[in-house]
Amino acid sequence: MSTASVSLPRRLARPEISAEIPQSTLEAVAPELANTHLDYIREGLECVGPDMLRVLAGIKAEPVSNVLPKELSIIVNNLSSDMPTHMFAVFSSRQPAAARRRVTLFPAHNLVFATHCANLPILPTPTPAFPECAGQEIKVPVVPLCIPAPEAFPQLSTFLYTKRIDHLLGSLMPVATPPQLYLDDPTTVMPILTEFAEKLAATYTAQALLLHISNVHGTWRNAVALGIADERLWCALDVAWEVLLTSLAISTGKPHLMTEIA
């Protein structure tokens, strides 16, 4: 990847995304929670989200043929929390219509996504599954999900389950990010940010930094497309973008660009 032909925005724009979720979306996945305050549901999910994520890690799905099925059989190996309700068939919105569509499957819990994604399509109603032992097979509906950057979907999905900004930054950055950069206002800790950016510039090539920048940009585009308004997510994206752009400017011998257009 050449740096000569790359044009990057100085900052990642925060679109006007409503923190409210359409009532129809919530009613479709959990009608019993339709009158419950959204913040209360999200707080509850934040407590159980990591356990739900561990259930997903133990899922095995049957191979998919050329035709995407409406339902898929999966084997559940972890019964420590709620069972997944759907299988997202994620594909790129940038793929030409005539091209053979490349699809990646991700098991998911409908409530996690329905309470965070304002632009989520209405999900089909799943059949409740209560496996009695590990290794048992259940069936879940398959939901096509068209997003700009499918390769960046896993870290965004993981964040919705854990809400851990440090883990998200760990998946976006080459090395661990100093906590001061996301626990405090980054504009008040510029010396720490600059020092961290200089460390990255001295350790990684411009091409390597561009790969991480592309990953951050893909995560941002997915968040916009899905309509996610979570403040911690946007904080992580802002920090990662500022550090990586500063690092790239230093690596390419153009650190002045960051101050000229700040």
Judgement on whether residues 162 and 238 belong to the same structural domain of the protein: yes
The kind and range of the H/E element at 144 are strand 136-147
Judgement on whether residues 143 and 186 belong to the same structural domain of the protein: no
Q: Would you write out the chain's pLDDT as a tens digit for each of its 262 residues?
A: 555 556 788 899 887 766 678 888 888 888 888 788 889 999 999 999 999 999 999 998 877 777 888 999 999 999 999 999 999 999 998 776 655 678 899 999 999 999 999 999 889 988 888 888 899 999 999 999 999 999 999 999 999 999 999 999 999 999 999 999 988 766 678 889 999 999 999 999 999 999 999 999 999 999 999 999 999 999 999 999 999 999 999 998 876 555 544 4
16 belongs to a structural domain? no
1 belongs to a structural domain? no
Judgement on whether residues 118 and 202 belong to the same structural domain of the protein: no
Range of the domain at 252: 156-260
| Nearest-angstrom CA–CA distance, 14 and 117 | 15
Cβ pair 12, 220 in contact under 8 A? yes
Cβ pair 73, 86 in contact under 8 A? no
Judgement on whether residues 75 and 140 belong to the same structural domain of the protein: yes
- Look at the chain and report how many structural domains it folds into: 2
The kind and range of the H/E element at 86 are strand 86-92
215 belongs to a structural domain? yes
Other Cβ atoms within 10 Å of 134 Cβ, number: 12
Judgement on whether residues 206 and 99 belong to the same structural domain of the protein: no
Report long-range pairs for 186-191 (Cβ below 8 Å, ≥24 apart). 186/238, 186/239, 186/242
Q: How far is CA 3 from the centre of its chain?
A: 26
